[in-house]
Structure 1
Amino acid sequence: MALEGHIETVLWTEADIAARVAELASQITDDFLGSSVPLVAVGVATGAFLFLADVVRRIKIPIEVDFIRAESYGSGTESSGAPRISCDIKIDVAGKHVILVEDIVDTGNTLSCLVAHLESKGASSVSVCTFLDKPARRKVELKLVGEGKFYRGFECPDYFVVGYGMDFAELYRNVPYVGVLKPEMYK
């Protein structure tokens, strides 16, 4: 069965995604233009890799790029508990503006852990740029560092979504749009 047969509904098309990414990159450029403080984008591996690449290519100011990996899901659809950082950044973020680039903010547990981690490394500010946001599932209030901002691509209904870097059991990251995975594919 082709990948399309695994998707119940398409929520955002390639064109929707490209338009929104361009808007986010423009907003980030405007917000940090003229700042004397260096800017670093930190992608949360692995889900944010496509979103990070698309956003940073459209940001019109100098920006460093790195990745961090936090694990909280395992191979299922439910979080396995407290997140842990399994691969840290290499760039020194002390005194820099950091934009944490995430594929999806769900409960907020992982994001809160990562923001606190970057703050402990001396970041001047920590902003969040998430492709999808599921505020209906939030369990942890997001506290940004310094004058951090929250950039959101789309507000996502409470569905299990895949595509554009997001996966189920490491599959579907290559789907170029965001769709709702048919329940029989993950149950």
Structure 2
Amino acid sequence: MITETLNNFGYSGIKRELFSAAEIKEKIDIAGRKLSQDFRGKPLLLISVLKGSFVFLADLCRAVEIPCEIGFMSASSYGNSTVSSGNVKITLDLDRDISKYHVVIAEDIIDTGRTLASICELLRERHPLSLSVYTLLDKPSRREVDFSADYSLFTVPDLFVVGYGLDCGEKFRNLPYIAEAEL
């Protein structure tokens, strides 16, 4: 039904919905409460790794019940491909000193782990008070480096997923749920 409706609106390429908007919201609310509890009274900086995690960060920061700041980075290892090149390039860096913050990276998906491992290495060199990673999706079957998130909302099998900020050729980011894409 969902695939049929999407196809009628020009969204061909969706196989099936994996996680509904309601399921995502429920998990984000739990993550927001955990962040609020863990960092109450502490300077908190939430970082989105653009572009994929902008939707996740927006909803996560609204679920956090304590003061927090946000920052943005952009890194790429995919380019226009659906497969990681293995080379991570920082294309947008933070514009502030993070040494006085507890830093939480809000990531859309951890696949090979190379991008997040590189970003975390870079940020650790800047001496934040603490550094952790909250990921919307974790795909451990694809891991190529020793990397684990501190908090994962969903674990996914080795599928190409879109929606809720994740794209395929810049399409599907606006879907309010996460779906498997046809490649």
TM-score of the superposed pair, with normalisation by structure 2:
0.92
Q: Distance in 2 between matches of 1:84 and 1:5?
A: 31
What secondary structure sits across from 2:83 in the alignment? Answer: coil
Corresponding residue to 1:92 among 88, 97, 101: 97
- Counterparts of 2:162 and 2:134, CA distance in 1: 18
Which residues of structure 2 form unaligned runs of 5+?
A: 1-6
**4+ residue runs over 3 A deviation:** none
One-letter identity of the residue aligned with 2:135: T
The counterpart of 2:143, out of the listed 133, 138, 141, is 138
Find out whether 1:32 has 2:24 as its counterpart.
no
Aligned equivalent of 1:180:
180
Cα distance in 1 between the residues matched to 2:12 and 2:85: 29
Q: Secondary structure at the match of 1:27?
A: helix
Number of the residue aligned with 1:58: 63
Tell me the alpha carbon deviations over residues 39-67 of structure 1, each in whole angstroms, 9 at most, x when there is no partner: 10010000000000000011011111010
Structure 1 unaligned spans of 5+: 144-148
Deviation at 1:169, TM superposition (A): 1.1
Q: How far is 1:141 from its partner?
A: 1.1
RMSD: 1.4
Q: Deviations over 1:3-57 (max 9, x none)?
A: 554210100011111111101111111111243xx11001000000000000001
* Separation (CA, whole Å) in 2 of partners of 1:45 and 1:164: 13
Counterpart of 2:165, as a letter, is G
In the alignment of these two chains, the number of paired residues is 176
In structure 2, the residue matched to 1:159 is: 159
How far apart, CA to CA, are the structure 2 residues paired with 1:45 and 1:121? 20
Amino acid at match of 1:24: A
Please report the TM-score for the alignment, with normalisation by the length of structure 1: 0.90
How far did residue 108 of structure 1 move?
0.6
Q: 1:117 aligns to what SS in structure 2?
A: helix
Q: Provide the rounded CA distance (Å) in 2 between the counterparts of 1:78 and 1:6.
A: 17
Q: Which amino acid in structure 1 is aligned with residue 49 of structure 2? A: V
Give the corresponding residue for 1:121. 126
- Alpha-carbon distance in 1 for matches of 2:40, 2:113: 28
- Closer/same/farther in 2, CA of residues 83 and 4 from structure 1, 3 Å limit: same
2:108 matched residue in structure 1: 103
SS where residue 180 of structure 2 aligns? strand
Choose from 2, 9, 13 the match for 2:20. Answer: 13
C-alpha distance after superposition, 1:56-88 (max 9, x if no partner): 011011111010000110111111222011110
Residue 119 (structure 1) shift: 0.8
SS in structure 2 of the partner of residue 85 of structure 1: strand
